[in-house]
Structure 1
Amino acid sequence: RMVICAKSHLVVLLVVVAVNLAVAVDLDQQLERDDIIEAVNSRDTTWTAGRNFDRSLNKRYLRNLLGWKRRPGGSKLPQLPDDLDNIEVPKHFDARKKWKNCISLQQVRDQGPCGSCWAVAAAAAFTDRCCIATKTEFNGHLSAEELLCCCSSCGLGCDGGYDDEAWTYFSTNGIVTGGDYHSHEGCQPYTLPTCEHHVPGSRKNCSAYGDLPTPPCKNVCYNKKYKDHTFADDHHKVKSTFTIVNDVAKTQKEIFKHGPVEAGFDVYEDFLSYKSGVYQHTTGDYLGGHAVKIIGWGVEKKVPYWLVANSWNSDWGDQGFFKIRRGNNECSFESDISGGSPDV
């Protein structure tokens, strides 16, 4: 009996070792594969693929990009009320054009070497909505840094977080002002460095930073050049929060009336190589969850799409933006929409 038990333990140990080795090998595989790019471009699909990432990057690096966590059972936020039924939306819409004087709407943020997409996308959408709600009286940036570092209920900082908790934090605590890395803008600007996620460029390659820890939470305005408000007085809040689940029309009306919203979706290998057109999953394995900002919609070659701002700087995709198929919950894109109404 002891011999049988020992053998069974040995088998279990060997299985565990084999699984761990398989995971390690998978993480060391090249991040962006030429065969996937070729497969997409050889098919009669709605988008084109090309190399976005440096050949030296592997799948392990994705831990620093895909940080959105899908909550089991769905978002904790309340459903958006049906009070926008009388709004008619156009066939094509781009928030950058409707609110062209809002500085933040024209920009693509860079989350850097950190899985902070959930915080960056939430802060970006909240920033846009503040500008729109105040008719550009507020026309700066709100701090993704404070949300990332101080929202303990949101998740694990650079190791990922929940979008519904981010918007709840905006309601209960609020966030201070803060621009991009080295912007010296606002109370708490982003301290994680911008870097080249992609092809060689002017910035340092993101992989050179390794796994950066989440910066510590600070209850002060660490930007010494910021004199407008104290830390306590600089906070901006939302008066209500919402989620929209699988309702294209309601999502369109909300964006058209009040501005961009945050979306979380499933990322597959082929998405990394998006260059143009309307993305829909074509080939490749599931990689993780990602959060982004929806800024509009349209139709291209009879294919309806969402217009989206990513947070991998302007070198990725279509100058930092992408289109994804609308109306079929592509990659679960329409099943987890989050937002809030600024308290202004």
Structure 2
Amino acid sequence: MENSPISVTLLFLICKVTLGAKPHPLSDEYISQLNAKQSLWMAGSNFEFNNDPKMWSYVKKMAGGTLIHRQSNRSTRSNLRMTGSYDIKVTDIPEMFDAREKWPNCTSIGQVWDQGACGSSWAIAAVSAMSDRICIHSNFTDRPILSPEDLMSCCTDCRYGCDGGYPFAAWEYWFTNGITTGGAYNSTGGCKAYTNQPCGHTKSSTLTLCSTLEPACIPNCQRTCDAHSEVNVDSYDETLYFGFEPYENLYCDTTQSCIEQLKYEIMTNGPVEATFDVYADFLSYKGGIYSTVDLSEFVSSTSAKLIGWGIENNQSYWLGVNSWNTEWGENGLFKFLMLQPFQMLESKIVAAMPNFARSKMDSRPRNNAFKIKNARLRVFSFLIILKIVWLARFCI
């Protein structure tokens, strides 16, 4: 006897009642289940849950945005590997490390960005680590904040702006085209400020609720500075910073050597950009050492900045800076269990060194060099005018 539509519906309802419907990833019930399953980290409400599909849509966009597995245009990419590039000993690596403590003058290291209603983690993590490295390798004399807005709007190879981009392409763009300065929303200290306003994730926030905002977008590429900026509107070229060719930890294996290489890179050259898969439980992270306990709800891939590592209760972790504002996690930061088999953060790392010789501005010699260059141009122009006036005498 064939099953009728009615019997199939009844069977579905019976199974649903028997097994219980899975709670929504933002609900209190789901958060309680997470806390009951493990004790490494604490889950809590980071996002408003009111069965509003707009909020869930916003959260998924914000938590995603990172595209992976893009092939480079350069055939040399396979030779640019972070892994194996350092001859180090285990004793060279401290048990705990925090880049904020080693380089306290570089305040950008601890800066927590707010993406707003935009999937821009790939760009923010990139320019944030670039800014840190400029500060570190200029011996703290040059401390710009690079512009995610410039990167997102002008890097066509990076792809889709607020709808996702490739981290490696972002670092390639720094190498080939340079990135200008520019801080957070409505800031005026740099050339191009971030145009997506900060927004709150819960009703208790003092910020506008993210789900009430229109979907974010990035304007067309403009190679000029903001009209409201303290930087001259025509100074775009003079505010560009460049990096050397990027290198990565792509497909790093799970050996201790691989971990040591990454640690040494961070403690020697500064923070790096890391990409990892986001499962629904990560959204509710409040503190502790995060390790996924629910693989059934994959959300997307995201990027963050790694600034150190540590160990608690015999569990080793990475210390990361997210860009979901300070309402999330440990004031915007998180601890991520090392070598999680389903997320493999260690295998998707990218970084590069700053190239001061190509960068247009620097508070050290480059500012003076730029002024000298302008002065020489003015003198040269004056001499040309004098010569033209002198020659004109013979034409009369």
Against the structure 1 CA distance between its residues 332 and 82, is the aligned structure 2 distance closer, same or farther, given a 3 Å change threshold?
Answer: closer
Aligned to 1:34: 28
1:307 to 2:319 alignment: yes
1:323 paired residue among 332, 335, 356: 335
Q: State whether residues 189 and 223 of structure 1, in contact with CA within 8 Å, keep that contact through their aligned partners in structure 2.
A: no
Aligned to 1:20: none
Aligned to 1:19: none
1:141-166 deviation line (CA, Å, top 9, x unaligned): 00011001110000111110100100
1:297-335 deviation line (CA, Å, top 9, x unaligned): 000111000000000000101100000101345512111
Aligned to 2:273: 262
Aligned to 1:333: 345
Amino acid paired to 2:339: G
1:107-145 deviation line (CA, Å, top 9, x unaligned): 101111101110011010101111101011111300011
In 1, the alpha carbon distance for the partners of 2:125 and 2:341 equals: 19
Q: Secondary structure at the match of 1:308?
A: strand
In 2, the alpha carbon distance for the partners of 1:199 and 1:291 equals: 26
Aligned to 1:179: 183
1:162 paired residue among 158, 162, 166: 166
1:67-107 deviation line (CA, Å, top 9, x unaligned): 01121679984212634223611000000111111121121
5 Å matches for 1:1-344?
A: 30=24, 32-56=26-50, 58-61=55-58, 62-71=60-69, 77=77, 78-80=80-82, 82-86=84-88, 88-198=92-202, 200-227=204-231, 230-245=235-250, 246=252, 247-283=258-294, 284-329=296-341, 331-344=343-356
In 2, the alpha carbon distance for the partners of 1:51 and 1:155 equals: 32
Q: State whether residues 81 and 249 of structure 2, in contact with CA within 8 Å, keep that contact through their aligned partners in structure 1.
A: yes
In 2, the alpha carbon distance for the partners of 1:169 and 1:325 equals: 31
Q: State whether residues 244 and 250 of structure 1, in contact with CA within 8 Å, keep that contact through their aligned partners in structure 2.
A: no
Aligned to 2:9: none
Against the structure 1 CA distance between its residues 75 and 32, is the aligned structure 2 distance closer, same or farther, given a 3 Å change threshold?
Answer: farther
In 2, the alpha carbon distance for the partners of 1:256 and 1:214 equals: 34
Against the structure 1 CA distance between its residues 329 and 100, is the aligned structure 2 distance closer, same or farther, given a 3 Å change threshold?
Answer: farther
Aligned to 2:394: none
1:7-31 deviation line (CA, Å, top 9, x unaligned): xxxxxxxxxxxxxxxxxxxxxx955
Identity %, equivalent residues = 36
What's the offset of the Cα at 1:290? 0.5
In 1, the alpha carbon distance for the partners of 2:24 and 2:40 equals: 25
Total equivalences in the alignment? 316
What's the offset of the Cα at 1:264? 0.6
Question: Mind listing any 5+ residue stretches in structure 1 that lack a counterpart?
Answer: 1-28
Q: Give the root-mean-square deviation of aligned CA atoms.
A: 2.1
What's the offset of the Cα at 1:198? 4.0
Q: State whether residues 183 and 189 of structure 1, in contact with CA within 8 Å, keep that contact through their aligned partners in structure 2.
A: yes
In 1, the alpha carbon distance for the partners of 2:341 and 2:274 equals: 11
What's the offset of the Cα at 1:34? 2.3
In 2, the alpha carbon distance for the partners of 1:73 and 1:175 equals: 21
Amino acid paired to 1:340: A
What's the offset of the Cα at 1:39? 1.5
What's the offset of the Cα at 1:223? 4.4
In 2, the alpha carbon distance for the partners of 1:233 and 1:44 equals: 52
Against the structure 1 CA distance between its residues 128 and 340, is the aligned structure 2 distance closer, same or farther, given a 3 Å change threshold?
Answer: same
What's the offset of the Cα at 1:45? 3.4
In 2, the alpha carbon distance for the partners of 1:212 and 1:265 equals: 23
In 1, the alpha carbon distance for the partners of 2:159 and 2:319 equals: 27
In 2, the alpha carbon distance for the partners of 1:259 and 1:223 equals: 33
Q: Could you say which structure has the higher helix fraction?
A: 2
In 1, the alpha carbon distance for the partners of 2:342 and 2:94 equals: 21
Against the structure 1 CA distance between its residues 75 and 272, is the aligned structure 2 distance closer, same or farther, given a 3 Å change threshold?
Answer: farther
In 2, the alpha carbon distance for the partners of 1:310 and 1:198 equals: 18
What's the offset of the Cα at 1:275? 0.7
